[in-house]
């Protein structure tokens, strides 16, 4: 079978399983299987596809048909300015989370040698995007998941910022190392009982550890705010991603821990998504 016929056949399977953009996704999967870009595919669509590649491609099509996110099938996702390695154990980087990067870069335009802490580093997409643009900053990332730490280490090497990054396997409560100019976090903030109602791709395939915010959705956010208030320098900035309906409750938690609210920023869907505040 040639490359094009395999793609057409694969796209049909995806379409029958209600996957949006079936042709595009089939092309992306093919490009991953034969390790060539989509331009190559366009120019070589009549080329014969060996049986090993065809089998692998069809296996990926089957998995995608069951709803597995494409990022997990090709093990990568583009975020901010770079492509990141992701695995089943990391949350897939969301475009909405780029807000944190944007805010940090704006706040630190003329700053040097800042110490940044990320609580719950996951794939590393947030802090590594910042370190890539602020070459003289020092990053520290913590996570309770060893496999997330492994992935963020690989991403740090890929982005050539690993010499500026320290990683620790730690629970947020237990971490007591250092004082930071800036703390960032996208903690799990979905109410436990709501996880099953998220989009199927998310609920079924993304790590619960990165989503589950406990009974009221705020149990991890509470810990992150408390810890940040202890580890942040006076006048340090704290940038936190929150759920669409958590603004008021989170603001009151922040104020209680001595933070001044600078701004609440909306995501692409016009939901409150990211809070910037200062330790006073
Ligand atoms: N924003 C993610 C979602 O929509 C949740 C991420 C999180 O809990 N930090 O599923």
Q: Which of 85, 84, 67, 94 is nearest to 243 (CA)?
A: 94
Phi first, then psi, for residue 272 (nearest 5°) are -65, 125
pLDDT of residue 136: 96
Quick one: which H or E segment has residue 14? helix 3-16
State pTM to two decimals.
0.94
42 pocket-lining for ligand 1 (C-beta < 6 Å): no
> What spacing in Å lies between the alpha carbon of 125 and ligand 1's midpoint?
14
pLDDT tens track for 217-241: 999 999 999 999 999 999 999 999 9
- The architecture of the domain spanning 79-279 is 3-Layer(aba) Sandwich (3.40)
Locate the domains of the chain by residue range. Answer: 3-66, 79-279
74 pocket-lining for ligand 1 (C-beta < 6 Å): no
Q: What is the mean pLDDT of the chain?
A: 97
189 pocket-lining for ligand 1 (C-beta < 6 Å): yes
pLDDT of residue 238: 98
Which residues contact residue 32 at a Cβ distance below 8 angstroms, ignoring those fewer than 6 apart? 60, 73, 74
Fold of domain 3-66: Helicase, Ruva Protein; domain 3 (1.10.8)
pLDDT of residue 96: 97
pLDDT tens track for 5-55: 999 999 999 999 999 999 999 999 999 999 999 899 999 999 999 999 999
pLDDT tens track for 112-129: 999 999 999 999 999 999
pLDDT of residue 140: 98
> What spacing in Å lies between the alpha carbon of 242 and ligand 1's midpoint?
8
79-279 shares the fold of 3-66? no
pLDDT of residue 119: 98
Which residues make beta-bridge pairs with 82? 79
SS3 track for 106-141:
HHCCCCCCCEEEEECCCCCHHHHHHHHHCCCCEEEE
Where residue 196 falls among pLDDT bands split at 50, 70, 90?
very high
pLDDT of residue 42: 92
203 pocket-lining for ligand 1 (C-beta < 6 Å): no
pLDDT tens track for 68-100: 999 999 999 999 999 999 999 999 999 999 999
């Amino acid at each position: 079978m040639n490359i094009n016929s395999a793609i057409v056949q694969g796209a049909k399977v995806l379409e029958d399983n209600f996957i949006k953009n079936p042709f595009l996704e089939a092309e992306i999967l093919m490009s991953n299987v034969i390790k060539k870009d989509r331009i190559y595919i366009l120019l070589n669509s009549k080329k014969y596809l060996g049986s090993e590649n065809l089998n692998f491609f069809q296996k990926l099509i089957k998995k995608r048909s069951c709803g597995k996110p494409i990022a997990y099938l090709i093990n990568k996702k583009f975020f901010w300015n770079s492509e990141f390695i992701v695995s089943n154990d990391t949350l897939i980087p969301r475009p909405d989370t780029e807000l944190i990067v944007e805010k940090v870069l704006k706040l630190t335009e003329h700053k040097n040698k800042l110490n940044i802490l990320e609580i719950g580093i996951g794939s590393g997409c947030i802090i590594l995007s910042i370190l890539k643009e602020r070459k003289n900053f020092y990053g520290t990332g913590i996570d309770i998941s060893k496999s997330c730490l492994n992935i963020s280490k690989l991403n740090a090497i890929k982005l050539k910022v690993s010499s500026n990054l320290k990683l620790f396997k730690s629970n947020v409560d237990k971490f007591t190392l250092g004082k930071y100019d800036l703390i960032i976090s996208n903690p799990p903030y979905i109410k436990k009982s709501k996880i099953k109602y998220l989009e199927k791709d998310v609920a079924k395939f993304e790590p619960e550890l990165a989503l589950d915010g406990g009974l009221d959705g705020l149990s991890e956010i509470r810990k992150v705010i408390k810890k940040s208030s202890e580890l942040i320098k006076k006048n340090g900035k704290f940038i936190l991603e929150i759920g669409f309906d958590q603004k008021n409750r989170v603001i009151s938690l922040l104020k209680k821990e001595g933070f001044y609210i600078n701004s609440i920023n909306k995501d692409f869907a016009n939901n409150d998504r990211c809070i910037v505040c200062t330790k006073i």
